[in-house]
Structure 1
């Protein structure tokens, strides 16, 4: 077998449950030697998911509370590169394996801690940070999407483990960036609080813009505003709600009764492609189609086909025509037609169906692993990979305890090396050329900028995507970049692009293999330009191998539909709903692409070889369902909480209403023992299971949330009041104009950019999920107005001012898309 990207890296995985083991799995999937350190009795999570998370790892049982066990652990640390743990803050220190102790043993060790809340947060650090407790405190379950708000459903519960998914991807990327910079910056300790990662992952649900123009509000937002202004209730039925969905962002029923989800607004060619694929060309020709970057005062009609949303005048007739058309064919035929036409759409699926889907299996987005406990097991595939790493499709099953080569490891000499200077960014000096748009792709560059990378965004002279996606979302996704506008269909534009590529280390793009190759960025062409060049590519349905849908277009919501998220959240095939939050999968895919880049940088350092680092929306769709994303003969039913009535996962992991508001009660490890310790509830510990939920709900309703928090304090069980994302944001706002922004004070941090070049203030989550002890994190600067840096960037690659003037005059380059930063 050929060398793997991380085959020179040894990882000690002390992680339990989900977040820590996920990081270990990601690194093992990239070729690292990962040793799972089990406590006596084995892993805490006694579910088949643990076998999936342990694939490719070896295991050894160590009692860290014994002197002999602790000494073995120390010997392992002396011969390792990475340590991962996700205990409560202080646990590793008490065991004698805190960050300082680790570096005393091995100065080059890079350690990762994944606590639920920040270790410096006096109010939250010591809480039992179960996944749903983190979600409840951050605000994930409150005001959960426009649909639920219009239906008056609040709170809502979701079993998707977003905090662990975001935190694990941050952790895996940070470890690799730190390892790649280790000769320059030395060993390091990194903390990634899962709640901080969750807020960053849900950044677009926290973004707030002063005097937000009405033109960007969807029909659902307009209806919410109307009902609030008129004092009307929000009590829509699901059927009524559907009529407030935009025609190009909704599910349609096909001839076979299956839902088909379309996401085709905003990109100027996509709505027309959808209508023409449906046989509705005449309708497309009747609809207004003009420059979306005009201010509404200059619009020649009330809406444009290039601009989300569809106007009120035409919304019903477009939706009705599309409903009728979809009923003429079964969903699988529409999938093939949409894919061929490059029109974004997909059939709705259950997760169980996705795990057996021909494309998922052919592409490696789902893998079949021969597991010793469960037989042939379908598992989520890699979330990050290198395109030429054929071994990405080959997975060893999870280990049996004590199969790690202990004696072989201990026979090695300890690793050594002097500590290096701190205070530098891991990616300082890295030049990144960003060819991406919308959310997922641009997230790569904005994430890299916090670690010191220099990022240049290249966009076309004529925008292909509307200002809602490019400016409103770009306020976060394009932070920390410079902006140049080039016409890549012109000879001069192509030449300028070639010069930019020649001066870059990394290129990022979001697009299919067909789109990549059309840009001249295939693996062969990259190697010819510069064998050290790395392309970071993400798309919707690509995988480590080719499959029938590899070149199908897609967006966040389509990955949700294809992988089962929408059917689960909505409660069934008749009522699928997008999972509540803008960019749920988009942002995560950008982080996963950074994980892939980390592996590419480590391989480059070892071999001098660049190549293509990959991630996909569908793979990130797997990741947010990681605890559920497996199947095998005899598997327990897929009966996780689903639908609008879901409030938790059983009696002891559930949202309850207290006397003064909603709270989440988490006692999954103790269950009835947790009740016996509380005098008010002790008598309920022996109530029959069928009667307990109602009885417990009745008791919880008699006292305020604070009472129950105190009652369960000091144990592995806890009560958490349900926060909201907006309240979390507003409680930690720091104005940019005040200066001295503290990124790492407590768990959450949000900046009010009140000196923004847009001319409006905007609130954006601060880049604080990754917290190194030694390396530097920077707050990326504001997104520039598109084209603002065209002249300076072209000068930097050798163009004289008169050449630049000629390129702008000829349309090969441009300095602006619109008169205003944000068209109104």
Structure 2
């Protein structure tokens, strides 16, 4: 068995963060992903993105050279998906924009990953995860001590609102292209995707359930039963007992005498936060884990990455997989009839081999080397078909 995207070919231009994450997801699902990286790459992306770049075949080109763009167009001729993470207009200037590639391959799904989107006043601006969270309205409600907004690493914007949105968009457009024979452009922006992730929060705002200042509401640490508490050993315990039956189990486990019927009466929340904090601080994290074992109270220890990898449930599910001393999150989701195994590692550079498979002769590759489009050493150990 192979992944559900077996037989799908993806060509992705080298990028950082969300676009490679989308490519990783597609590779995990069984797609063949050819990564076209920069010829002058300093190597830092390969270090910081080693997990994100799994499951690829790597080609390195000088895209600023017209012949480099021509190689990309050749690769795309038989591809199903193409992705890029440039600012708006850059791909067009390089000769690999949607019009260029859809003319060659009308059924192509052209995925575009940006921070702000392809249009709008900020479209050409630089940006990073934190700014997209800030402008979308997702950052302000995420507060820490003193009401300071705290970014949830770069998972919410770059990867949840960005890369995963691109992957979903590509899959939707791919399904359409297979039915109609017509490709299209997928405009995925981190701003749009992050806003999409606020759907439940928007409902709570509209219903009046979220009306207190930051830090005083249900999911922002205001609710004593949905909060993280420090333990006696300077570790942390997460408490997420929203439903009444879980809240009752929480009170019982903590030994707190409070009326379960007053759970959502916010006038009691400040006092209960202090009570819960005092009780939890009296014992270690693992002692509380033992107390709540078998209770449906939604109390879970906060684990660091090494502890998480050693957790019995995480091990049983094989949530993480070790490869060459690097911890990889396993492909997700899982399928009943097709496999989503961790893709094999690929050599750093297969430029000549890939081009040979696309019909480039030894002489063609030599001309690209001489023109500086590909590295001179690339073609020396490979022998594509014919001259």
Alignment partner of 2:327 out of 378, 393, 399:
378
Matched ranges for 1:2-401 at <5 A:
2-42=1-41, 45-46=44-45, 48-121=47-120, 123-138=121-136, 143-147=140-144, 151=146, 153=148, 159-165=153-159, 166-185=161-180, 186-204=182-200, 209=205, 213=208, 216=209, 245-265=222-242, 267-278=243-254, 283=257, 287=259, 289=261, 303=262, 305=263, 308-309=264-265, 311-312=267-268, 316=271, 320=275, 323-324=278-279, 327-328=282-283, 330-335=284-289, 337-355=291-309, 357-370=311-324, 376-387=325-336, 389-392=338-341, 394-397=342-345, 399-401=347-349
Residue in structure 1 matched with residue 384 of structure 2 by the alignment: none
Distance, in Å, in 2 between the alignment partners of 1:340 and 1:208 is 32
SS of 1:269 mapped into structure 2: helix
Q: What count of residue pairs does the alignment treat as equivalent?
A: 356
Change over 3 Å in CA distance of 1:44–1:197 after alignment to 2: farther
Distance, in Å, in 2 between the alignment partners of 1:27 and 1:377 is 20
Distance, in Å, in 2 between the alignment partners of 1:49 and 1:358 is 28
Shift of 1:85: 0.4
Change over 3 Å in CA distance of 1:134–1:218 after alignment to 2: closer
SS of 1:341 mapped into structure 2: coil
SS of 1:114 mapped into structure 2: strand
SS of 2:74 mapped into structure 1: helix
Change over 3 Å in CA distance of 1:74–1:357 after alignment to 2: same
Distance, in Å, in 2 between the alignment partners of 1:404 and 1:384 is 34
Shift of 1:176: 1.1
Do 1:247 and 1:310's aligned partners in 2 also have CA atoms closer than 8 Å?
no
Matched ranges for 1:602-617 at <5 A:
none
Change over 3 Å in CA distance of 1:339–1:57 after alignment to 2: farther
Alignment partner of 2:354 out of 406, 412, 423:
406
Distance, in Å, in 2 between the alignment partners of 1:333 and 1:349 is 14
Do 1:59 and 1:400's aligned partners in 2 also have CA atoms closer than 8 Å?
yes
SS of 2:51 mapped into structure 1: helix
Distance, in Å, in 1 between the alignment partners of 2:350 and 2:323 is 21
Do 2:143 and 2:215's aligned partners in 1 also have CA atoms closer than 8 Å?
no
Change over 3 Å in CA distance of 1:109–1:219 after alignment to 2: closer
Distance, in Å, in 2 between the alignment partners of 1:120 and 1:12 is 24
Residue in structure 2 matched with residue 811 of structure 1 by the alignment: none
Distance, in Å, in 1 between the alignment partners of 2:289 and 2:351 is 46
Give unmatched runs, 5+ long, in structure 2. Answer: 361-387
Distance, in Å, in 1 between the alignment partners of 2:295 and 2:352 is 51
SS of 1:84 mapped into structure 2: strand
SS of 1:332 mapped into structure 2: helix
Residue in structure 1 matched with residue 377 of structure 2 by the alignment: none
Do 1:13 and 1:84's aligned partners in 2 also have CA atoms closer than 8 Å?
yes
Shift of 1:363: 2.4
Matched ranges for 1:754-793 at <5 A:
none
Change over 3 Å in CA distance of 1:408–1:32 after alignment to 2: farther
Distance, in Å, in 2 between the alignment partners of 1:14 and 1:218 is 44
Do 1:17 and 1:44's aligned partners in 2 also have CA atoms closer than 8 Å?
no
Do 1:15 and 1:87's aligned partners in 2 also have CA atoms closer than 8 Å?
no
Change over 3 Å in CA distance of 1:396–1:223 after alignment to 2: closer
- TM (normalized to structure 1)? 0.39
Do 1:251 and 1:261's aligned partners in 2 also have CA atoms closer than 8 Å?
yes
Matched ranges for 1:385-784 at <5 A:
385-387=334-336, 389-392=338-341, 394-397=342-345, 399-402=347-350, 405-407=353-355, 409-411=357-359
Shift of 1:103: 1.6
Deviation sequence 1:656-694 (CA, Å, 0-9, x none): xxxxxxxxxxxxxxxxxxxxxxxxxxxxxxxxxxxxxxx
Shift of 1:67: 3.2
Distance, in Å, in 1 between the alignment partners of 2:135 and 2:356 is 45
Change over 3 Å in CA distance of 1:258–1:156 after alignment to 2: closer
Residue in structure 1 matched with residue 363 of structure 2 by the alignment: none
SS of 2:294 mapped into structure 1: helix
SS of 2:30 mapped into structure 1: coil
Distance, in Å, in 2 between the alignment partners of 1:117 and 1:315 is 39
Residue in structure 2 matched with residue 435 of structure 1 by the alignment: none
Shift of 1:124: 1.5
**CA RMSD after TM alignment:** 3.4
Shift of 1:316: 3.3
SS of 1:13 mapped into structure 2: strand
Distance, in Å, in 1 between the alignment partners of 2:343 and 2:192 is 32
Deviation sequence 1:731-765 (CA, Å, 0-9, x none): xxxxxxxxxxxxxxxxxxxxxxxxxxxxxxxxxxx
Give unmatched runs, 5+ long, in structure 1. Answer: 225-241, 290-302, 371-375, 413-824
Shift of 1:79: 1.4
Deviation sequence 1:337-360 (CA, Å, 0-9, x none): 535223211112334543554543
Shift of 1:152: 5.4
Distance, in Å, in 2 between the alignment partners of 1:171 and 1:158 is 20
Shift of 1:81: 0.6
Do 2:147 and 2:214's aligned partners in 1 also have CA atoms closer than 8 Å?
no
Change over 3 Å in CA distance of 1:219–1:101 after alignment to 2: closer
Distance, in Å, in 1 between the alignment partners of 2:186 and 2:215 is 43
